[in-house]
Structure 1
Amino acid sequence: MTDPYIYAIVALLPITALMLVFQSNPYNALIMRGILGAIAALIYSILGAADVALTEALMGTLLSISLYAIAVRSSMVVRLGILSDETTVDSSVENELRTIFSKHYLRLELVTYPDPQTLRQALLDRTIHTTIVLNPDRAPEIATRISSLYEMMRSQLPSDTNLTYINPLASKLTVTEPQQ
């Protein structure tokens, strides 16, 4: 192991690992994980461990990246409950929410419910993450059960939006006051 290129390749391993740790975008982290696995497989093959290199390439890189991609894709969804008579959410509100969530790499999925009681129960049962009720004469009412979504929306929604946080795990409902 006196060849200088081996030292350069081995130095790539911790550099790539550090880059992986500091990724904020989950998709970029998946790419970095793939690069990390490829470098590890290359190092193993250079050092003569072909079986370990093949295992790392197949299991550690291809399979894990595929499973991580599926997990990231399915967990990056915000399920927004709406009433069935509001199937076309006001495009400005929907676009505003999509913009807010896309900054955090989240997708918005609309789920319809027949009445306000079922909508609220779905939020408490953890079927959906957030609800929106559109009022023709007032600002939209948005409720969420996830504190990080509440903080995200609170800082970026217009001040006239009625935004509440509901804690479904508390013995009694904890509702924060609307934005000022």
Structure 2
Amino acid sequence: MSNYLFSEILFSQGLFSDGLLGKNFYIIPITLLLPLTAALVVLQANPYQALVVRGILGAIAALVYALFGAADVALTEALVGTMLSITLYAIAVRSSMNMRLGILDSDSKSASESGSEYSPESPFTAALRAALKAHHMRLELVTYDNAAALQAALIAKEIHTAYDSKRFLKTRIEALYSILKTVDSPATANLTYLDLSRPLAQPLPAQPSDQTDQNLQEERP
């Protein structure tokens, strides 16, 4: 029944005025590209390739709208449905598909001088980049002045992973913890997962000093 209604719509629009093999028969294969391209978007594992296929899907949809005489809808699909959405998707993918690794500034300076752990050519950094690249992610190094600032940044969710001066690697994201476990490096031997959904231990209140106790006693009647 649905095929019959679809054919009636095509004939009413004059698309099949010369029969099934008429001059407008090319619209059918172009229209069939829509579900095929949509399936390719869903099946893509690489997010950047999915954005490219999404652009192709939008172009085909705009072409189909134009062929059916809806030029205004085709223009809206091309400008808003395709260009704007792909721009927003690209910004979201680029900002989310990276791991921010917090390190100490002193360690970073010593590494740049000696060419050790934090330099781009070091085995540790190269192993991290290789593990993340397999998941289409990038590595971003963020430096902090001291260990307290590094720990605070991890708790405040400014970074995803922290590597302190004691060579402990901490991450607050469970998916990154699974990825980092596969890295063949001595640094990942001290890898821990920090679950921020659980309440952290609160520090004990400071004990009042002797001067404070004396002032309280003087204020009493």
CA RMSD of aligned residues (A): 1.7
**Structure 1 residue identity aligned to 2:78:** A
Q: What TM-score do you get using the length of structure 1 for normalisation?
A: 0.87
Aligned pair 1:22/2:43, yes or no?
Answer: yes
Q: Does 1:156 align with 2:149?
A: no
Distance 1:32 1:18 in 2: 10
The answer to whether structure 1 residue 51 and structure 2 residue 69 are counterparts is no
> C-alpha distance in 1, partners of 2:107/2:79?
48
Look up the match of 2:168.
141
Structure 2: stretches of 5+ with no match in the other structure? 1-14, 17-23, 202-221
Q: For residue 168 of structure 1, what is the aligned residue in structure 2?
A: 196
Cα contact 2:127–2:185 (8 A) shared by 1: no
Letter of the 2:53 counterpart? M
**1:102, CA displacement in angstroms?**
1.2
Distance 1:93 1:158, change over 3 A: closer
Amino acid at match of 1:29: A
1:104 is paired with a residue of what secondary structure? coil
Take 1:86 and 1:148, find their aligned partners in 2: how far apart are those partners? 26
CA separation in 1, counterparts of 2:76 and 2:70? 10
For 1:103-162, what per-residue CA distance to the aligned partner results, in whole angstroms no more than 9, with x for missing partners? Answer: 111111111111112211211111110011355xxxx42110000000011133347621
**Matching residue of 2:21:** none
Q: Aligned residues: percent identity?
A: 49
- Equivalent residues in 2 for 1:2-17 (5 A)? 2=16, 3-17=24-38
The one-letter code of the counterpart of 1:103 is: A
1:178 paired residue number = none
Paired residue secondary structure (2:57): helix
* Worse-matched range after superposition: 115-124 or 27-36: 115-124
Mind listing any 5+ residue stretches in structure 1 that lack a counterpart?
174-180
Partner of 1:126: 157
Determine if the alignment matches structure 1 residue 66 to structure 2 residue 93: no
Residue 9 of structure 1, CA deviation:
0.5
Asked which structure has the greater CA Rg, the reply is: 2
Give the alignment's TM-score, normalised by structure 2. Answer: 0.72
